[in-house]
């Protein structure tokens, strides 16, 4: 390979790992070129899986680790005991410039703390933020913060706006980034002082990275009029999970409506094609995981319960972020 991009992969995190991780690499590597995978985890287990895949031997190396971090570990205990874990070592390979970005489907809190311990913050940014993709009527939103910081000041929210816009530009290069602050009303006078101050700052300082669209209410997140939604980590986490719960509730209610009668069963069969299209659009694996922004190297969290397709999508996000120079975009634009 000619100067490949290098992705560090924590193979041991999340459900059904390392199987889904290796299968995810197989899917991703078959659709791309010039990507090298630094795989961290139990070499014996990984070897026995990888030999049955089509992944070229030139495209990866396995770094053996005995230890791995469990989903039940607290972030601090993981950071203390986990220095020889697959998660720690894969992040350390970023610090040593051996990899350009890392993907893990493991313990989110631990990943966050270990990344903060090992990597530097981007200059002028005080707090990293957890961001994720969230579908809207026209495409995808970036929403941040989703839980890294329970309390944020106006400087944090302004930083999040720039980081989120840079991420949107990296993932969807042909679209213009449009930033809005999540609030309980759309008028200027609504919200607490942090939100109002953020509005003021973003409204006054025009910038080349994004258009500032003011406030957005929860019921308009998916309308598609904006595509970067900024909030503190407490509110963002509640909003994301409430949307997830609502979607689950509706689909389980729909299912019981469909299966409650013979007629329902027949028409459910007829509907398979339409529902497939619908499900494809809403497939959570397409916008799987989260991206930690604010550190000087990209840290990508794949969802613990995702499968190989979801993991492959996280690898694709990773690749896009590296190729589009996300970190440079943030550095150049941050105020």
Which residue ranges make up the site for a copy of itself (CB under 8 A)?
Answer: 135-137, 147, 150-151, 182, 184, 191-192, 217-223, 231, 233-235, 237-250, 252-254, 257-258, 260-261, 263-264, 266-267, 270-271, 273-275, 277-278, 281-282
- 120 or 241, CB closer to a copy of itself? 241
Region for 104 from its dihedrals, namely left if φ exceeds 0, alpha if ψ lies in -120 to 50, beta otherwise: beta
Judge contact between 261 and 253, C-beta under 8 A. no
Residue carrying structure tokens 């529902």: 275
Q: Which is nearer to a copy of itself, 166 or 230 (CB)?
A: 230
Kindly state the tokens that stand for 276: 């497939």
Q: Which is nearer to a copy of itself, 26 or 71 (CB)?
A: 71
- Closest distance of CB 144 from a copy of itself, Å: 14
Identify which of residues 7 and 240 has a Cβ nearer to a copy of itself in the complex: 240
Q: Least distance from C-beta 138 to a copy of itself, angstroms?
A: 12
What does the DSSP 8-state code read for residue 91?
H
In degrees to the nearest 10, what's the CA dihedral of 244, 249, 252, 254?
-110
Closer to a copy of itself by Cβ: residue 48 or 259: 259
Kindly state the smallest distance separating residue 168's Cβ from a copy of itself, in Å: 19
Peptide bond into 223 cis (omega under 30): no
Residue 176: CB atoms within 10 A of its CB come to 12
- 118: tokens are 């090992």
Cβ atoms within 10 Å, residue 237: 17
In whole angstroms, the minimum distance from the beta carbon of 248 to a copy of itself comes to 7
**Nearest distance in Å: CB 194, a copy of itself:** 11
Closest separation in Å from C-beta 312 to a copy of itself: 24
Q: Considering beta carbons, is residue 35 or 146 the nearer one to a copy of itself? A: 146
Cβ-based nearer residue to a copy of itself, 148 or 321 = 148
Identify whether the C-beta of residue 210 lies closer than 8 Å to the C-beta of residue 176: yes
Q: How far is the CB of 246 from a copy of itself (least distance, A)?
A: 4
Closest of 133, 155, 299 to residue 229, by C-alpha: 133
Separation in Å, CA 21 to CA 49, 51, 129: 10, 14, 25
Rounded CA gap, 119 and 329, in Å? 18
């Amino acid at each position: 390979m000619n100067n490949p991009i290098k992705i560090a992969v924590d193979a041991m995190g999340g459900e059904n790992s390392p199987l889904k991780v290796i299968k995810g690499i197989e899917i991703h590597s078959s659709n791309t070129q010039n990507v090298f995978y630094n795989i961290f985890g139990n070499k014996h287990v990984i070897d026995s899986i990888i030999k049955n895949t089509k992944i070229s031997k030139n495209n990866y190396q396995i770094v053996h680790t005995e230890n791995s971090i469990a989903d039940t570990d607290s972030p601090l205990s993981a950071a203390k005991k986990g220095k020889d874990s697959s998660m720690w070592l894969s992040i350390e390979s970023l610090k040593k410039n051996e990899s350009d970005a890392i993907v893990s489907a493991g313990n989110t809190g631990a990943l966050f703390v270990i990344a903060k311990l090992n990597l530097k913050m981007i200059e002028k940014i005080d707090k990293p933020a957890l961001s994720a993709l969230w579908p809207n009527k026209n495409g995808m939103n970036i929403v941040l913060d989703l839980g890294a910081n329970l309390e944020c000041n106006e400087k944090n929210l302004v930083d999040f706006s720039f980081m989120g816009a840079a991420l949107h530009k990296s993932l969807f290069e042909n679209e213009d980034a449009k930033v809005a602050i999540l609030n309980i009303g759309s008028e200027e006078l609504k919200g607490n002082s942090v939100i109002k101050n953020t509005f003021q700052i973003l409204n006054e300082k025009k910038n080349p990275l994004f258009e500032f669209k003011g406030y957005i209410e929860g019921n308009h997140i998916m309308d598609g009029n904006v595509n970067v939604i900024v909030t503190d980590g407490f509110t963002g986490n509640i909003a994301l999970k409430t949307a997830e719960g609502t979607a689950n509730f509706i689909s389980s209610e729909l299912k019981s409506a469909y299966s409650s009668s013979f007629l329902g069963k027949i028409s459910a069969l007829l509907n398979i094609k339409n529902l497939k299209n619908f499900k494809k659009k809403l497939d959570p694996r397409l916008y799987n995981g989260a991206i930690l922004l604010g550190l000087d190297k990209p840290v990508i969290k794949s969802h613990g319960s995702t499968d190989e397709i979801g993991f492959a999508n996280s690898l694709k996000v990773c690749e896009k972020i590296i190729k589009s120079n996300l970190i440079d975009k943030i550095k150049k634009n941050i105020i």
